Chains A and B, each alone.
Chain A
Amino acid sequence: MKTYLPPKFIVERDDSRCIRCEVCVNQCTFDVHSYDTEDAELKSHEENCVGCHRCVVFCPTEALTIRGNPLDYRENYNWRPEVIEDIIKQSETGGVLLTGMGNDKSYRIYWDHLVLNASQVTNPSIDPLREPMELSTYLGQKPDRVEFGSHGLTTELPPQVKLEVPVMFSAMSYGAVSLNVQESLARAATEMGTLWNTGEGGLHPKLYKYGDNTIVQVASGRFGVHPEYLNVAKVVEIKIGQGAKPGIGGHLPGEKVSAEVSSTRMIPKGTDALSPAPQHDIYSIEDLAQLVYALKEATNYTKPVAVKIAAVHNSAAIASGMVRAGADIIVLDGLRGSTGAAPKIIRDNVGIPIELALASVDDRLRQEGIRNQASVVIAGGIRNSGDVAKAIALGADAIYIGTAALVALGCTLCQQCHTGKCAWGICTTDPWLTKRVNPDIGARRLSNLLRGWSLELKDILGGMGINALESLRGNRLHLRGVGLTDTELEILGVRMAGS
């Protein structure tokens, strides 16, 4: 069938600069560039270009420019080019539209409508360059009260995990991302004193040595879950849902299940790894409690058990149930949470913004007097240390980043993760492509990112005149809203700027 899809991008090659080195031909995984030996010329199949800019960055003479195809259809606010193209794709294939990364639609980003406070005159700011600033965070259940004897604390504390930076790497499974990406994450987490998350694809033997900085996931597919896997980790996370596809399971396509991936997931090579939509032993809060305690039993109560859900309308009530079910950490993944593959219609239309979910969950747990019983971690579109600081002030204990970490490794959000052809070698298991991420360099890039954010967080704290993140946590007086309605301000528990 002839496709009616117009090219999304225009590839411009400055012939006076092009030296026929064919780097672009090798770097592009979408078969855009080719070398015509007869004409000694490079040609472009523009219709294949996804705009990932791999070729642009690697072209040694900067001969390439990739521009969006302006697609000047007759203007129509309702029938935008994306809407038209989606219909064309479906009329040509009859399938569910798949995509990668997170929701890219124009829903309000509340972080951009919240501003932080700083000290002026009436109390002094602190200079983080010369004074100690504390970013340490302890994840885990906190007791209702503590008692001290002559030799200190006598209350037996549930397992706690210390983070040097309140930023962890979100679940990205081996299979969705490459082993080199996971190794980069694991090494950076270890170096920076934080945690990375295996996702639901099991843990490769090569990464067991980073166990002390690892969160292992138990999801509906139970891939690669066995006692050794549970015991090597610092935290065990039950995945109920994820922000990019609330209520939807996952299908890792057989093409991505290489021999290596099969060994970690513990399924035969080339078969689809199907993660059912629900966990089939969990149909209620009581059932969740059963799995939480099964995992606590399996690890002899030595590590916190986290439960991750997608932020949905009822998050606050569900979160209360999760805490009562024994979760030591609850994870909320918002509307903008990313994925290696999800139905586009779900990604773009299901779930609620993480800022609102966080505020309402924190409120609810406080109202019920159980906020101390679990740490709250949020995920889904966190872009910088400003977002982190605002999230902490809204009530989060720590933050997961996924997309930001991948961007540090080269990702340009081309949203082609589901194709397995990631030109940046991130979201692929093709051995030729995965070499594009060198774990030595990857770990350094990620550590640098966390280091930068830590320094900025300290600056933010210092500016407010506080020297510990703990003093900012849940302290919404340090936030003000800009351009928000009364209802929005009320849900966020934040006052209007100027008031």
Chain B
Amino acid sequence: MKEAVTIDAKGIFYRELNAKLRKVVSNGTQKIELRNVYGQRYIGTDLDKPVEIEIFGTPGNDLGAFMDGPRIIVHGNAQDGCGNTMNNGEIIIHGHAGDILGLSARGGKIFVREDVGYRAGIHMKEYQDKKPMVVIGGTAQDFLGEYMAGGILILLGLKLKEGESHKANFIGTGMHGGAIYIRGDVEEFQLGKEVSAAELDENDHSVLKKLVGEFAYHFGYDAGEILKHKFTKLFPLYLRPYGRLYAY
């Protein structure tokens, strides 16, 4: 196995940086450290090898877009479009993430320690063994899980104070597949018209145990503590939310 490679990204345009990554990865390198990352976009795109990329700084939009395999660890915050249409791989963010986290992802896992922006998990979808999974440690903005067609979205709200609740509205609007788990209560008015809340069953608990376990491992939490709290499951009411809209 090749040694870890360190790249100083300071002052490098994204196109050049990503070209460098392609080259390094094609040489068989399996671990890369990116230092001084200041907003460079598309890191991890077009890398289809199981390489681990550790990012120090602030990667730009579309981190891991269309990604197919690598594992990215961010020591900092991610911006918008993180995991956009991702196919496979893992993104672990020791910080916040912006809007449309995991947009249209079809596979892979994303763990965010803190909060995320609007429309997280929008239109994620699953197919056979491909199932995107997103765990958010903090809270989220409106339209969480909008149009979701598959996959798993977990919102933990770990930083919410006693008595404080998630503020997101329109959760699961247009959702027609997959499941959203929210730690704590959500009020009926916060939900989109196409979802409903349910108690957790055996299977839900084992899903949570596994994914929250991984989350806790990445960020040094006690999974048992997190799981003690009550969770609400949101599921789509219809496979075909817009089936009765039309006249022929």
Which residues of A does B touch, CB under 8 Å? Answer: 89-90, 92-98, 220-222, 225-227, 230, 251, 253-254, 262, 266-268, 270-272, 274, 276, 280-281, 290, 293-295, 297-300, 418-419
- Measured CB to CB, the closest approach of chain B to A407, in angstroms, equals 23
- Pull 25 A–B residue pairs with CB atoms less than 8 Å apart, ordered by A: A95-B244, A95-B245, A95-B247, A98-B246, A225-B104, A226-B87, A227-B66, A227-B68, A230-B66, A268-B177, A271-B240, A274-B123, A276-B123, A281-B80, A281-B100, A290-B61, A293-B42, A294-B81, A297-B15, A297-B46, A297-B65, A298-B42, A298-B46, A298-B66, A300-B46
CB <8 Å contact, B104 and A222: yes
Min CB distance B122 to A, Å, is 5
Closest 3 pairs between A and B when the two form their complex, measured CB to CB: A95-B247, A93-B247, A222-B104
Q: Are B66 and A267 neighbours in the complex by a CB distance under 8 Å? A: no
Q: How far is the CA of A221 from the CA of B48 in the complex (A)?
A: 23
Query: In the bound complex, what is the Cα–Cα distance between A92 and B103 (angstroms)?
Result: 39
| Contact of B84 with A281 in the complex, beta carbons under 8 Å | yes
Binding site for A on B (CB under 8 A): 14-15, 18, 22, 41-42, 45-46, 48, 61-62, 65-66, 68, 80-81, 84-85, 87, 100, 103-104, 106, 119, 122-123, 125-127, 130, 146-147, 149-150, 174, 176-177, 239-248
Query: How distant is the Cα of A266 from the Cα of B127 in the complex, in angstroms?
Result: 5
CB nearest to B22 among chain A residues: A300
If A267-B125, A294-B45, A294-B66 touch, whether A418 touches B248 (CB-CB below 8 Å) is yes
* Residue contact A280 to B176, C-beta cutoff 8 Å: no
Q: Which residue of A lies closest to B174 (CB)?
A: A274
Partner of A251, one of B61, B62, B106, B242: B242
The answer, among B65, B66, B122, B241, for a CB contact under 8 Å with A272, is B241
Q: Considering the complex, give the chain A residue whose CB is closest to the CB of B104.
A: A222
Complex Cα distance, B87 from A90, in Å, reads 42
Chain B residues near A253 (CB, 8 Å)?
A: 240, 243
B247 touches A98 (CB 8 A): yes
Known: A227-B68, A298-B45. Is A268-B247 also a contact (CB below 8 A)? no
B97 to chain A: closest CB distance in Å? 14
Tell me the minimal C-beta distance from B236 to chain A in angstroms: 10
| CB within 8 Å for A254 and B240 given contacts A226-B106, A276-B147, A281-B100 | yes
Q: Is the CB of B123 within 8 A of A221?
A: yes
Which of A94, A220, A268, A280 lies in contact with B126, CB distance below 8 A?
A: A268
Q: Complex formed: what's the CA distance from A220 to B125 in Å?
A: 13
Report the minimum CB–CB distance from A78 to chain B (whole Å).
Answer: 22
Residue of B nearest to A93 (CB): B247
A95 touching B246, Cβ below 8 Å: yes
Check A222 against B240 for contact (C-beta < 8 Å): no
A280 pairs with B45, CB closer than 8 A? no
Q: Which residues of B contact A268 (CB under 8 A)?
A: 126-127, 150, 177
Q: Is A274 touching B147 in the complex (CB atoms < 8 A)?
A: yes
